[in-house]
Structure 1
Amino acid sequence: MSIIAFLVIGLLAGLIARALMPGNQSMGLLATTLLGIAGSFVGGFIGSFFNSDGRVMDLHPSGLIFSVIGAMLVLLLVSFAGRSRRVRV
């Protein structure tokens, strides 16, 4: 997969994941793209369990769906990590 396609799929996955997750995620376009790229890695890993050849970096028709699911998991983990760092008074 080319780098441009990887970035575009990452941006789309990050935008869709942020739209589907409840709450306010205050992040810019670059952070959203990085979220989607991390979600693509997580989603590719999850998708490789359902694919017979088991390759993570290949482009599959269900890749965007698993990328969105992976981005939502990453966003959930980031939101939990952000909560623990806040000072409670």
Structure 2
Amino acid sequence: MIGTIISAIIVGLIVGALARLVMPGKQNMGIIITIVLGALGSLIGSWLTYQLGYNNSNGGWEIIPFLVGIVVAIVLIAAYLAVRGRQVRA
């Protein structure tokens, strides 16, 4: 149980960080929200790819759900920034 939670946090951090790197501009958001949106993007991306019929018959690392998770995390980060609004602090 603890291992699963730690793995989700690490994957969320990686997916969220990669999503933020791909996005243009500066995103003013903390590490916690990056982890949460990255983990959520990874979860939704994996679920979506398997619902569309993805099957990792060769075994190994599942690159397609990982990439779709990054795309979903980009969309979630963009939605978060749109809802929160771009606040410029001087």
TM-score past 0.5 threshold: yes
Partner of 2:8: 6
For structure 1, the residue ranges without an aligned partner over 5 or more in a row are 53-59
Partner of 1:74: 76
2:73 is aligned with 1:50: no
Q: TM-score with structure 1 length normalisation?
A: 0.72
CA drift of 1:50 comes to 3.3
CA drift of 1:22 comes to 0.8
Q: TM-score with structure 2 length normalisation?
A: 0.71
Give the Cα–Cα distance (whole angstroms) in 2 for the partners of residues 47 and 24 of structure 1.
29
Give the Cα–Cα distance (whole angstroms) in 1 for the partners of residues 47 and 69 of structure 2.
10
In structure 2, which of residues 35, 38, 41 is the aligned counterpart of residue 39 of structure 1?
A: 41
2:9 is aligned with 1:29: no
Alpha-carbon RMSD across the aligned residues, in angstroms, is 2.5
Structure 1 counterpart SS, 2:71: helix
Structure 1 stretches of 4+ with a deviation exceeding 3 A read: none
CA drift of 1:72 comes to 0.6
CA contact (8 A) 1:14 1:71 kept: yes
The amino acid of 2:62's aligned partner reads: P
Number of aligned residue pairs: 79
For structure 2, the residue ranges without an aligned partner over 5 or more in a row are 56-60
